[in-house]
Each structure stands twice: as C-alpha cells, then as structure tokens.
A and B are shown apart, each in its own frame.
Chain A
Amino acid sequence: MQTEIVIAGFGGQGVLFAGQVLAYAAMDSGKHVTWFPSYGPEMRGGTANCTVIVADEDIGSLTVRNPQAVICLNLPSLDKYEPLVVKGGVLVLNRSLINRSANRTDLRVVEAPANELAEELGDKRLVNAVMLGALVEATGVLTMAAIQKALKDHLPAKHHDLLPANFTALEKGAEAARRTLAAQSA
C-alpha cells in the first residue's frame, strides 16, 4: 500500500513545510515516507512543489508520473496536475486563488477558500494548514491526530503559540472537504 501526494503552489505558500508535516506524521505513525522538493531557481518566486510518498514497505521512486492526490494552491498547479492525477484520485483546490473548478469528472474534488479561511483565523500563513486538513480528511492517508502531533512535536518551540490556530485551520480544511465531497456524491 502506497500513497503518492503532490503539494503544489508558489513560493511562500508553505508548500514544502506542509509536506514536511505530512512526512513527520507518517514517520511517527511507523510508515515509510519520502519527501522530495522541487529545488533551485523555482524556489525563488516561481512555482514550488514537493512529492510526499507514504507507504507500508520501503519506497522506490521518489516521484511518480500519476499521483493519487494533489493539493493545488494556485491555478498554474491545477493546470499542470489535473491531467496527471490517477482516476478516482483526490484533487484539493484552493478556490481563493483558483477561479475555476476541475474539468475532470473522474476525480474526488475538494474545494476550500483557503486564503479567506486563513484570514478569518487571523493569520494568512495558515493557508497550508487548511489545505493539509482537507487532504487528510479526503484521503485518510494518516489520522488528523497524527498530523496534530507532528505539528506539536516538530514545529520550532518559538512558534508554539501558533499551534491552536493551526489545529483550527486543519479542522476548517477537513470541514470543507466533508462538505464538498458530500455535495459531489449527492
């Protein structure tokens, strides 16, 4: 059993850190995990993405052509990854910055206005936590408790005042996932 997840957006949206939280949670849950970032010039202002693979056995390739789930934090990410997600896979869209829905009808699509939700919570840096909450709810790749524990154990101590807001952001994302998936299957 192996789940491949791509998190894509532009620099500054917390793409790489969201992937690391997922990787820490997977490691602490006793899973095999790899985290592989896009690195280099694209880190400076352009697109940023990382691939996280969570598995029950040792992992081969660090990247896959057709991931099972993709978080798209902006429109270029959706344009790039929508055709690539496996049939029946999960697409999580930040509708604050993406002005269209998915074109494909063979995917489970989760939509969340992540920027607005983050700003309602008082910190625009929470966008990645909202999206991560939505992904975890939609895929069940790990438990929400494992994600919360990973944040608590691996977020630097000086940022621990942000933990409650991050937990709320995760829950807001999960709520959005439940709502949009229910609407999709209705």
Chain B
Amino acid sequence: MAKELLKGNNAIAEAAIRAGVEAYFGYPITPQTELLEHMAARMPALGRTFVQAESEVAAINMVYGAACTGKRVMTTSSSPGVSLMMEGLSYIAGTEVPMVLVNVMRGGPGLGNIAPSQADYHQMVHGGGHGDYHPIVLAPASVQEAIDITVLAFDLAEKYRTIAVVLADGSIGQMMEPAELPPMAELKKHLPHWAVTGEPGRARRLLTSIYLNPDDEEVTNMRLLNRWMSIRENEVRWKEYFLEDAEYVVVGFGTAGRVALSAVRAARAEGIKVGLFRPITLSPFPEAQLKEIAAVSEGMLVVEMNAGQMLDDVKLATEGLLPVEFYGRLGGVVPFPDEILGEIKRLAAGPIPNQNGHARQRWLERLALIKERD
C-alpha cells in the first residue's frame, strides 16, 4: 500500500482495526481523543463494537469482560485516565486474558496538562496495578512505528495471555508523518481454549483472578512469572544508530529518542564518536544489549521527558561498568536537540565534575540553571 500522511492517533486506531480488533471501550481525553473518534467513526460501520463508557473505570472493566470471550479487545487513554484503570488492569493480569492498552502520555502528576510527557514509565513498566505481574510495554518513536507496534501488541498479548501496552506521548499522537498501514486482516476464526462463550453442554470454563487458597495463588503467580521469563527471553526489541565505532552512547525511547537522534547527528558532524540506543520494548527491557554496549563504551547519557525513570533501569543493566549521566525535561516540556548536544559534549569533554552523588542530582542542578537562564 502507498504511504499516506497520517496523524499518530488516527494511525494507531486504524492499525488496530486492520489488526482485527473486535471491541473498543474508551473515554475521551486529550491528547488521544482522535483515537477514540476514529474508532467511533469506523467500528460500528464494520459491524464491530465501539462503546464510549461513562468513565475509564467502566471502560477497563468492559475490556475485562470482552477479553474473556477471547476476541481482540483494546482501550486507549492518557495518563490520568490510565491511572483510573489500574484496578481493572491488575484483574486482567490476574485472570490471564490478553488486551491492548494505548497510553498517549501527557504532563503530570495530577491533572497536569496536555503536553507530551514520558512520566508514566514507572507506572507502565514497573506495575501500576497491585500484585506481581509484568505487562509488555512498547514505545513507538514515529507514526510508522506506532502502526507496526500496535499490530505487534495484539499478537504478543495473545501469544502470552498478557497485557500489551503501546506507550506513546502527546507528540506521537498529534504529529503527522507519511506512513503505510497494513492490509485489513481477517477476523480471528478460532477462539482460544480458555474463552468463555456460553456454549451449553461442555465443561465449564472459569476465568477469575480470585484464588482464596494462597497455594493456588502461588501456582498462578508462578505461571505468570514463567510466561514473563519467556517474554524476556524472546521479545526484546530495540534500534541502534551509529553505534559501530561509538565511544559514547545516548539512550532514549520514543520522542526523547527522536530528539536525541538529531543531537547525535549534530555531534557526529563535530567529530564526536557518539551513537544512539533506542529501546522499543521498555518491558522487557534490553538489559543484556545495554550491558554489552556498556562494556565497550566510555560513557552513557540517558535522555527522557521525565525525572530519570528509565535511568534506574539503565543503571541496573549496565552494572556500574561506565559513568551514566542523565538529562530530562519535566511536566510536558520537550527538549530541543541543542540541549542534548550540550550534554553529549559535556560527557565527551572528559571526567564528569562532581562524580559524587547521583546523576539525577547533578542534572537537577543543571536544569535549575537552564530554567533561570530561559
């Protein structure tokens, strides 16, 4: 198919439709509302289910019920709306039914604002809902990648009976880029063996997240964990830029990764041997890949649109093999490439001053100076 100029939100919605989503439940919130609007316009016309629920709490519980039928189901929201869904997400994880959640993140905490942010990393990657479970979290950096990742998310969710999250930010949702949509897939003909279908005369199928006997709950938790180990083994995805001869490595996901790419190119033009590592799966995190790179590099710079949430995971993965510095903007501010170029130069200039203390503390002091200047 030919490339079309597509807005991120619409592209994700249409990709889900082409991937065969049969039921969508959601509630409007900026900056993802076009996604819900696209679903409202397309799903009923295709004879599929679209429900604008009375709240995000209702939407996620509708998803829970629909997921139990074994059909492809999804919901989408933005940060405060996703917070409201956390109880339902935990129940879905505990019941081992697949679903896709799209979170088009905005500035927070609280009501915050509608500007692009990556501040829900911890919430999405390290839990959110209660209990011991891991969702798969995929972070697109372009409209094309958002399309591809949305399709992949359905396949992974079903393969591992898990929650798959597409973690975008407001700028991915609102931007337009040329991209190619997949052809319309046929709807699933065969339902999974666990799906509840109301079929009379066969053995009862029970889907639940209640295991009153701790021994039974422990078995369930072990089953979840074994699946997660298999996901860690098989589903790590990332993209590398200019790493072949890189002495310094920038690590950033999604929009921050894109901004870092501009900075890395500018630094290369000035002769600095720097590359970019862009995780696509934030969960499972590319730990082994980063450790391998850390062993042959001089220094790392983590760039995020939050206060250093992935930074913690990078530091764990790299096991102190090299200095890891941090640069972020907060509250919905998107960094310009020149800010990151300045940070790359700082890293490449040699020993980092004030090595005592945490990279986050050093960055916070630099950010305070930037805020004063601007």
Provide the B258-276 mask, 1 if CB < 8 A to any CB of A, else 0. Answer: 1111110100000000000
Docked complex Cα distance between A24 and B7 (Å): 12
| Interface set, chain A 1-57, CB cutoff 8 A to B | 20, 23-24, 27, 32-37, 39-41
- B120 → A minimal CB distance (Å): 18
Docked complex Cα distance between A63 and B262 (Å): 10
- Is B117 among interface residues, defined by CB-CB distance under 8 A? no
Do the beta carbons of B114 and A39 come within 8 Å of each other? yes
Q: Which single member of A33, A34, A39, A65 contacts B338 (CB below 8 Å)? A: A65
- Is A156 among interface residues, defined by CB-CB distance under 8 A? no
Binds A, one of B172-180, B202-210, B308-316: B172-180
Given A20-B5, A27-B3, A40-B114, A60-B176 contact (CB < 8 Å): no
- Is B171 among interface residues, defined by CB-CB distance under 8 A? yes
Docked complex Cα distance between A62 and B31 (Å): 16
Additional 10 contacts, C-beta under 8 A, given A33-B178, A35-B177, A39-B31:
A20-B176, A27-B3, A34-B175, A40-B30, A40-B114, A58-B142, A60-B265, A62-B258, A64-B337, A154-B5
Do the beta carbons of B336 and A63 come within 8 Å of each other? yes
A-B contact pairs, 7 of them (CB 8 A): A20-B176, A23-B5, A27-B3, A34-B175, A36-B175, A62-B171, A64-B337
- Is B334 among interface residues, defined by CB-CB distance under 8 A? yes
Residues of A within 8 A of B177 (CB): 33-35
Do the beta carbons of B174 and A36 come within 8 Å of each other? yes
Residues of A within 8 A of B90 (CB): none
Residues of B within 8 A of A65 (CB): 336-338
- Is A61 among interface residues, defined by CB-CB distance under 8 A? yes
Docked complex Cα distance between A32 and B5 (Å): 11
| Interface set, chain A 58-72, CB cutoff 8 A to B | 58-65
Query: How many A-B contacts at CB < 8 Å in the complex?
Result: 65
Given A23-B176, A35-B176, A61-B5 contact (CB < 8 Å): no
Docked complex Cα distance between A27 and B263 (Å): 24
Docked complex Cα distance between A83 and B263 (Å): 22
Residues of A within 8 A of B255 (CB): 62
The 5 closest A-B CB pairs, nearest first, are A60-B262, A60-B261, A35-B176, A61-B262, A61-B259
Do the beta carbons of B338 and A35 come within 8 Å of each other? no
Residues of B within 8 A of A63 (CB): 334, 336
Interface magnitude class on chain B: 20 to 34
- B195 → A minimal CB distance (Å): 40
Does more than half of chain A's interface fall in helix, strand or loop, or is it mixed?
Answer: mixed
| Beta-carbon nearest neighbor of A32 in chain B | B178
- A105 → B minimal CB distance (Å): 24
Do the beta carbons of A62 and B175 come within 8 Å of each other? yes
Q: Which single member of B3, B175, B337 contacts A60 (CB below 8 Å)? A: B337
| Interface set, chain B 282-339, CB cutoff 8 A to A | 334, 336-338
Do the beta carbons of A61 and B31 come within 8 Å of each other? no
- B342 → A minimal CB distance (Å): 12
Docked complex Cα distance between A27 and B144 (Å): 14
Chain A residues with a Cβ closer than 8 Å to the other chain, count: 22
Do the beta carbons of B174 and A37 come within 8 Å of each other? yes
Given A24-B5, A39-B174, A60-B114 contact (CB < 8 Å): no
Docked complex Cα distance between A63 and B171 (Å): 10
Given A39-B174, A40-B30, A61-B114 contact (CB < 8 Å): no
Provide the B329-368 mask, 1 if CB < 8 A to any CB of A, else 0. Answer: 0000010111000000000000000000000000000000
Do the beta carbons of B258 and A60 come within 8 Å of each other? yes
Residues of B within 8 A of A36 (CB): 171, 174-176
Residues of B within 8 A of A58 (CB): 142
| Interface set, chain A 100-139, CB cutoff 8 A to B | none
Do the beta carbons of B114 and A27 come within 8 Å of each other? no
- A54 → B minimal CB distance (Å): 11
| Beta-carbon nearest neighbor of B3 in chain A | A27
- B259 → A minimal CB distance (Å): 4
| Beta-carbon nearest neighbor of A24 in chain B | B5
| Beta-carbon nearest neighbor of B262 in chain A | A60
Residues of A within 8 A of B259 (CB): 60-61
| Beta-carbon nearest neighbor of A27 in chain B | B178
Residues of A within 8 A of B265 (CB): 60
Residues of B within 8 A of A64 (CB): 336-337
Docked complex Cα distance between A152 and B263 (Å): 37
Residues of A within 8 A of B261 (CB): 60-61
Do the beta carbons of A40 and B31 come within 8 Å of each other? yes
| Beta-carbon nearest neighbor of B335 in chain A | A61
- B241 → A minimal CB distance (Å): 9
Docked complex Cα distance between A20 and B176 (Å): 8
- A166 → B minimal CB distance (Å): 18
Q: Which single member of A32, A39, A61 contacts B337 (CB below 8 Å)? A: A61
Given A34-B177, A61-B262, A62-B258, A27-B336 contact (CB < 8 Å): no
Residues of B within 8 A of A32 (CB): 178
Residues of B within 8 A of A27 (CB): 3, 5, 178
Most buried by B among A23, A27, A58, A61: A61
Do the beta carbons of B260 and A60 come within 8 Å of each other? yes
